[in-house]
Amino acid sequence: MAPYHIRKYRESDRQWVVGLLSRGMAEHVPATFQQLLKLPRTLILLLGGPLTLLLVSGSWLLVLVFSLSLFPALWFLARKPWNMFVDMTLHTDMSDITKSYLSERGSCFWVAESREKVVGMVGALPVDDPTLMEKRLQLFHLFVDTEHRRQGIAKALVRTVLQFARDQGYSEVVLDTSTIQLSAMALYESMGFQRTGQFFFCIWARLVAVPSVHFIYHLPSAQAGGL
């Protein structure tokens, strides 16, 4: 197991973190595709579509072309929400990470570095909601390179965010992750996060039936001791 350390983001890390984001989202496409194939509406399309086309046209060639074109179309659909997320992220908070995360005291962005390579990352921004009774921090973009998983890096990055939240006087830490990310959900729950609801972050996520789950972590008070 290679040693690693966690530090604040530097501009020289940008290529690494964009790569982590892109590869991390691409990992979810196969699982999304498999789930898409199991949906009742997809099964009806896969089974009923060719039969209906055969009855209407009487052409086996047309049925074959239709059937072969369905799978690339479904693969495209499975990729769409993740590609959209990457594009949206690179045009919003990650378009300028230093400005978004490191220009204010109550936010931060960290990377995990191993052998002069960035192998993990996580960000944290305050939740801007005047109706909230508690000061709340949101965790964003927890990713660890596939070759460096199962080394405790993800847990260490989450703990870094939790410690930062407490040091900055936050009462709660929240995050969103998708139901496809089973290992991420297991990690958060093992660390004390609680599910509070779910939603679809875009219409494409709804089409492939991949909701996002909202988690919350209630930070102990200063009197309750350390994390």
Task: Express each pLDDT in 109-140 by its tens digit.
Answer: 999 999 999 999 999 999 988 778 789 999 99
208 three-state secondary structure: coil
pLDDT of res. 222: 47
Q: Give the mean pLDDT of 12-35.
A: 96
Q: pLDDT category, 53, cuts 50, 70, 90?
A: confident
Q: How many CA atoms lie within 13 A of 88 on its CB side?
A: 10
The count of other CB atoms within 10 Å of the CB of residue 152 is 13
Contact assessment for residue 35 and residue 210, using Cβ atoms and an 8 Å cutoff: yes
Note the pTM of the prediction, 2 decimals.
0.88
CA of residue 60 relative to chain centroid, distance: 42
Contact assessment for residue 212 and residue 178, using Cβ atoms and an 8 Å cutoff: yes
- Distance (Å) of CA 150 to CA 20, 118, 121, 144: 16, 16, 15, 10
Instruction: Return the CATH number of 1-221, one of 3.40.50.970, 3.40.630.30, 3.40.50.2300, 3.40.1260.10.
Output: 3.40.630.30
214 three-state secondary structure: strand
Sign of the dihedral through C-alpha 164, 219, 187, 182: negative
Domain ranges of the chain: 1-221
